[in-house]
Amino acid sequence: WETRRSRNQRLAVRRENDQAKRDEDPDAHAERLTERRGNYQARRDENPDAHAEHLTERRGNYQARRDENPDAHAEHLFKCRDRGDARYARSTLQQREETRQAKNQSGLAWYHQNKSTVHSKYKGVFEYKGGTGGWKASYMATVPEVVCGKRKREDGPFDTEVEAARAWDKLRSSEPGFKKPNLLNFPGEYDAAVATGAGAAAAA
């Protein structure tokens, strides 16, 4: 059995090797991260309820561990603060200003690429003003598992606003206990789908 010290040394060497690979080809590393995030997001979008349950379970486990040993949790928080204070003390005023400006520029670039504007006669339909353009559907769904009880669900981009409007109808009609087709963009299509037994999802 390896000792804790030898294990820590082995992990330190692995971290150094991984960092060297990232430094050697940062573009490839960024592509891998982007692909990984896309896969995670696709899984979350595919089953948002399961994702919400997973988050609730994880928070419950963390809280149980904190309640089980509050002193260890307090010590962990102190260590985190000490590490943060040490990093802050090592940085110069110029470095802090450069970091702040870089974060601001990154956030501004993301906003201009992904911002959307209400620009449609249909409910819940937005037009992308940056990036690749197109239309998206956005709906605040009822999710009792989360603290605020609501969560934004989006779909898109779509080439036309009609496609986005139908996607919004699908998001809206998939709400548990949905009984108000007159709130949809295309209530006639929803009624026809229900009449033929296709269900709420087929209405979009």
pLDDT tens-digit series, residues 63-76: 999 999 999 999 99
For residue 124, what are the CA distances in angstroms to 1, 134, 138, 153, 202?
Answer: 59, 14, 5, 11, 19
pLDDT of residue 122: 92
- Per-domain boundaries in the chain: 116-203
- Does position 169 have pLDDT exceeding 90, yes or no? yes
Query: What is the band of 79 on the pLDDT scale with cuts at 50, 70, 90?
Result: very high
Query: What is the band of 78 on the pLDDT scale with cuts at 50, 70, 90?
Result: very high
* Global model pTM greater than 0.75: no
- Does position 198 have pLDDT exceeding 60, yes or no? no
pLDDT of residue 170: 92
Lowest-pLDDT choice from 59-68, 105-114, 161-170, 194-203: 194-203
Q: Which amino acid is at 64?
A: A
Whether the ω angle into residue 157 lies within 30 degrees of 0, i.e. cis, is: yes
How far apart are the C-alpha atoms of 171 and 132, rounded to whole Å? 23
- Does position 203 have pLDDT exceeding 60, yes or no? no
Question: Judging by beta carbons within 10 Å of its beta carbon (0-12, 13-18, 19+), is residue 73 exposed, middle or buried?
Answer: middle
pLDDT tens-digit series, residues 11-61: 999 999 988 888 888 888 888 888 999 898 888 888 888 888 999 999 999
Q: Is the dihedral of CA 130, 135, 140, 145 positive or negative?
A: negative
Residue 157 backbone dihedrals phi, psi, to 5 degrees: -80, 155
pLDDT of residue 95: 86
Query: What is the band of 94 on the pLDDT scale with cuts at 50, 70, 90?
Result: confident
Residue 144 backbone dihedrals phi, psi, to 5 degrees: -60, -25
pLDDT of residue 104: 94
Query: What is the band of 201 on the pLDDT scale with cuts at 50, 70, 90?
Result: very low
